[in-house]
Structure 1
Amino acid sequence: MSELDAEDVKIITLARSTRARVGGGEGAAVRDETGRTYAAGSVELPSLKLSALQVAVAMAVSSGAESLEAAAVVTEDEAPDIAAVRDLGPKAPVLVAGPDGAVRAVLRS
């Protein structure tokens, strides 16, 4: 796997720390077209279930983001759902990392 740039390392770190803070199964972070980042954990309520990526994308959209440059998800899931990322960033790479922060895959369009 190619070397990650500092901004990609940052969103992986944000995703890991969010996952640890909330004690959830997933943490995610996205970077918008202006470089702002949004980090989130998954939501599991009786009436609402959202992946960490879905929450992070929703946070970006609700803050005025028009596109995404990159996304990261820290999960044990081998095939996370990246549809929400594709809605806002059709070509944004999605870094999939394990709980240890090691990148297992980079999903591209």
Structure 2
Amino acid sequence: MSEPLDPEDRKILTLARSARARNRTPEGAAVRDETGRTYVATTVALDSLRLSALRTAVAMAVASGATSLEAAAVVTEAEAPPAEDLAAVRDLGGAGTPVLLAGPDGLPRATIPAS
């Protein structure tokens, strides 16, 4: 990515990377709701429940009363978020909600619309 990130977008990317490192999980994610509140999550891998970090962050936002999303970020080794993750962001934030994708080093690789 050649354009500089907005400070609030940089913040959710940093939070996602920190959560991933702290919990030693494959992914870390963060979402920002319509009021500026941030929800941070990592991959959930229980025998009875499996959720990506991004879907977990969206679920946390919904459970806390968020009605829309301004932005989302995911730190992962994957080349792109799965369609299910983008669908979760789209369900709450709409098709235009940007999903920032970064590698484990925290460097942004792409901004993907949730469409």
Coarse TM-score class (shorter-chain normalised): over 0.9
Q: Could you tell me which residue of structure 2 aligns to residue 8 of structure 1?
A: 9
Instruction: Name stretches of at least 5 consecutive residues in structure 1 with no aligned partner.
Output: none
TM-score (norm 2): 0.92
- Compute the displacement of 1:89 (Å): 1.0
Matched residue type, 2:36: G
How many residues matched? Answer: 109
TM-score (norm 1): 0.97
Task: Please state whether the residue corresponding to 2:29 is helix, strand or coil.
Answer: strand
Q: What is the Cα-based RMSD across aligned positions, in Å?
A: 0.8
Runs of 4+ in 1 over 6 A off after TM superposition: none
Task: Please state whether the residue corresponding to 2:61 is helix, strand or coil.
Answer: helix
Matched residue type, 1:59: M
Task: Please state whether the residue corresponding to 1:56 is helix, strand or coil.
Answer: helix
Distance in 2 of aligned mates of 1:53 and 1:21: 16
What are the residue-to-residue correspondences of 1:62-77 with 2, within 5 Å? 62-77=63-78
Matched residue type, 1:88: L
Q: Could you tell me which residue of structure 1 aligns to residue 99 of structure 2?
A: 94
